[in-house]
Amino acid sequence: MAELMTLPDAIAELVSDGDSVALEGFTHLIPFAAGHEIIRQGRQDLELIRMTPDLLYDQMIGIGIARRLVFSYGGNPGVGGLHRFRDAIEHDWPRAVEIEEHSHAGMANRYAAGAADLPCAVLRGYVGTDLMARTTVAPITCPFTGERLVAVPALRPDVAIVHAQEADREGNIQLWGIPGVQKEAVLASRRSLITVERIVDELEPRPGGIVIPAWVITAVAEAPGGSRPSYSLGITDRDNDFYRFWDKMSRDREQFTEWMNENVLGLAKR
Amino acid sequence: MSVATREVTAGETQTIVAARRLSHTKTVFIGVGRPSTAAILARMVHNPELILVYESGTIGAKPFHIPLSIGDGELAETADSIVSVPEMFNYWIGAGRIDVAFLGAAQIDRHANLNSTVIGEYEHPKTRLPGAGGAPEIAASCGEVIVIAPHAKRTFVEKLDFVTTVGHGDGPGARERLGFRGRGPTAVITDLGVLEPEPETCELMLTEIHPGVEVDKVREETGWELRVAEHLETTEPPNDEELAALRELLDR
């Protein structure tokens, strides 16, 4: 049953050095507050898993806490590249990061296989590309039709962290709007933390709402505004200007470090 | 011809030409940037019934503004249905339910294969690009692919540094051998003209040139010896309605 905790307590209890951690959220509901808390608590050598690293993993990579990155699209959506991600891969700054990359279809199916506790997922994909030789996929033949397909291994992160709009006091959560791959990530992981905009007495059914029951969640923590500069549909708006600002500011190592010190690490000194 | 028409930029022409391609399309899959602008423009001017499908899982989105990201709130608020990422790739893209997909790339070769992974060597890239995203499976399974790219020699290359997405592979029969079900790239729309695969060789050939552009300029900006169609068409210039709609959309 999900335990209601403060965000610092939840991170302290669920995330350890060296863990594989999936902070998911496809453009929408990205768990920035939780990622920042991981940075503030000084976790090291993490394997970071996420379809779209986005600014959050750019920050975590740039601050040097990622040992390995598993992903499918490392861009700043609609703006351009991710400069800290690039700097780590191109110049090993601030440290070398091992990468494993997939396509979106591959990553989504890997999470779904993890959620189903299957060893792998099967899809039509990867064939003919140079990605095939650079990542963990294998050809497989359908035993019924003989069609040649590709298998991808299940993802089983140590911890999944996602953000949602609401939880009730039992720790059941509801999210609505773009659902991404959050439910799959939670069910695929050994432990899970869901941060929420607010805790309510009763979850009110929403169109397209996804409810994850408390008994498959390890911890729930209240984090109002916790997806900013991403957004929580109906509660906060995506800060598109920040995504543009990040593109300019984060090109420079010193400016980046200063920004992180001031805006993320500085908070710990309160 | 009006004053507005004479002031048209190459980028505007590219977007307007892309929008025209969607006049009779039922469903279009789009990423951000120019493809999104073109698809919204197509709904405004040519095809109000056009169904926009974004990678974020928003099916039938009707954005009034051009979204910055594929997951902007307006897409979710106006969609007919919102699905998870596994569902998007398995039930909708993989199953071949989308007619046309717009894709971009950092590099494209003569058979319309695409690179969005690295410039330089994979292990020690000169430029690390974002990576595959949805492109490989989108290109394999959507009915057809339209590539939208700036026409420059560093983009239109003899050999890709990395094959992220297969267009027509090494030529005729490649897609069938790989088991792909969609037709693959049917056009590459640039700021200079339109390239289409020649049916017998699947090699991109210049079939349409935008007003005021010289063929030599297109050749110069293409990294392989570009073939030019015997009956090279000149793009019909953007009309007042198209231009007014595009500019109004960009101003929103």
pLDDT of residue B34: 72
Q: How far is A91 from chain B (nearest CA, A)?
A: 9
B65 within a domain of the structure (yes/no): yes
Q: What are phi and psi of B145, to 5 degrees?
A: -120, 135
Domain count, chain A: 2
Tell me the residue range of the domain where B57 lies: 3-245
| Nearest residue in chain B measured CA to CA from A73 | B133
pLDDT of residue B142: 97
Q: What is the pLDDT of residues A102-154, one digit of tens each?
A: 999 999 999 999 999 999 999 998 999 999 999 999 999 999 999 999 999 99
Q: Are residues A198 and A218 in the same domain?
A: yes
Cβ atoms of A176 and A207 within 8 Å: the answer is yes
Mean pLDDT for chain A?
96
Residue A267 clears pLDDT 60, i.e. is over it: no
**What CATH code is carried by the domain that includes residue B23?**
3.40.1080.10
Q: Are residues A114 and A199 in the same domain?
A: no
**What CATH code is carried by the domain that includes residue A218?**
3.40.1080.10
Per residue of chain B (252 residues), what is the pLDDT tens digit? 454 545 899 999 999 999 999 999 999 998 766 789 999 999 999 999 999 999 999 999 999 999 998 889 999 999 999 999 999 999 999 999 999 999 999 999 999 999 999 999 999 999 999 999 999 999 999 999 999 999 999 999 999 999 999 999 999 999 999 999 999 999 999 999 999 999 999 999 999 999 999 999 999 999 999 999 999 999 999 999 999 999 999 999
A59 within a domain of the structure (yes/no): yes
CB contact under 8 A, A128 and B169: yes
- Angstrom distance (rounded) from CA A199 to CA B184: 48
pLDDT of residue A1: 86
pLDDT of residue B32: 62
Give me the residue from B77, B131, B164 closest to A74, CB to CB: B131
- pLDDT-above-70 percentage for chain A: 99
What ranges in chain B are assigned the alpha helix state H? 3-6, 10-20, 34-45, 73-78, 85-87, 135-141, 174-178, 215-220, 240-251
Q: Which residues have C-beta within 8 Å of that of residue B243, sequence separation ≥ 6?
A: B4, B5, B8, B12, B16
Q: Are residues A93 and A220 in the same domain?
A: yes
Tell me the residue range of the domain where A234 lies: 3-103+155-260
pLDDT of residue B51: 98
Domain count, chain B: 1
Counting Cβ atoms within 10 Å, is residue B109 exposed (0-12), middle (13-18) or buried (19+)?
A: buried
Q: What is the pLDDT of residues A198-223, one digit of tens each?
A: 999 999 999 989 999 999 999 999 99
| Residue of B7, B12, B55, B203 marked catalytic | B55
- pLDDT-above-90 percentage for chain A: 96
Q: Are residues A62 and A193 in the same domain?
A: yes
B78 within a domain of the structure (yes/no): yes
pLDDT of residue A152: 98
Residue A81 clears pLDDT 60, i.e. is over it: yes
The ipTM is 0.95
Q: Are residues A36 and A90 in the same domain?
A: yes
A124 touches chain B (CB under 8 A): yes
A169 touches chain B (CB under 8 A): no
pLDDT of residue B249: 96
- Angstrom distance (rounded) from CA B205 to CA B195: 5
Q: Is B198 a catalytic residue?
A: no
B224 within a domain of the structure (yes/no): yes
Task: For residue A30, count other CB atoms closer than 10 A to its CB.
Answer: 30
B contact test, residue of A24, A29, A49, A52 with most B CBs within 10 A: A52
- pLDDT-derived band at A270 (thresholds 50, 70, 90) equals very low
pLDDT of residue B33: 62
